[in-house]
Amino acid sequence: MLPHGTGKKVRILVIAAADKAKEAEAAGADYIGEEYIEKIQKENWFDFDVCIATPDMMAKIGKIARILGPKGLMPNPKSGTVTMDITKAVSDVKAGKVEYRVDKTSICHVPLGKASFDKEKLEENYKVLIEAIVKAKPAAAKGTYLKSIVISSTMGPGIKINAAKY
């Protein structure tokens, strides 16, 4: 969770049954309902950034897994997008929850915020992110965990940061 979010408005699709759908609507989800499964399947509709589902809906979502999976939109219990607590999941995503993965070259690409953010907001987001990455270090990993840290704007030059501090 980034304390100041990424600066992007996140559009959330919640696939849940009747009572949980009402809960999602109250939490502020943008799209709610099972009918979106068909819409994704037939119309290739992807007007959302995050898909959240309840465990009982996962069998139905299985039909579109091959479509959502490659785009990184498939709900996943590990990332907290398959849950019975829809309200918490939606509010976390709206508040600035980001998911980071390491690619095959051991590089972690994560948005920290917008260039228009204050220096303090970017710094705080950066510190929270680095702490989360260091905390996730496997016990079996030996040696230096963070070899280099570079921050950049989307199309700007990279700025190297001293990784020895962390």
Yes or no: say if 91 and 19 are a contact pair by the CB < 8 Å rule. Answer: no
Alpha helices by DSSP H, listed for 14-163, are 18-27, 35-43, 58-61, 65-68, 86-95, 119-135
Average the pLDDT over 105-127 and give the result. Answer: 87
Residue 80, number of CB atoms within 10 A of its CB: 16
Average the pLDDT over 61-83 and give the result. Answer: 86
For residue 43, the model assigns a pLDDT of: 87
For residue 70, the model assigns a pLDDT of: 84
- Encoded tokens for 157: 């030059």
- Encoded tokens for 10: 């996140």
- pLDDT at residue 96 tops 80: no
Residue 1, number of CB atoms within 10 A of its CB: 13
- pLDDT at residue 5 tops 80: no
In this prediction, what percent of the chain has a pLDDT beyond 90? Answer: 2
- pLDDT at residue 166 tops 80: no
Rounded distance between C-alpha atoms, residue 67 and residue 159, angstroms? 36
pLDDT bucket at 120, cuts 50 / 70 / 90: very high
Average the pLDDT over 93-121 and give the result. Answer: 85
For residue 157, the model assigns a pLDDT of: 92
Rounded distance between C-alpha atoms, residue 111 and residue 16, angstroms? 29
Rounded distance between C-alpha atoms, residue 14 and residue 30, angstroms? 8
- Encoded tokens for 111: 């948005």
- Encoded tokens for 147: 């070899």
In sequence order, the 6+-apart residues with CB closer than 8 A to the CB of 63 are: 37, 41
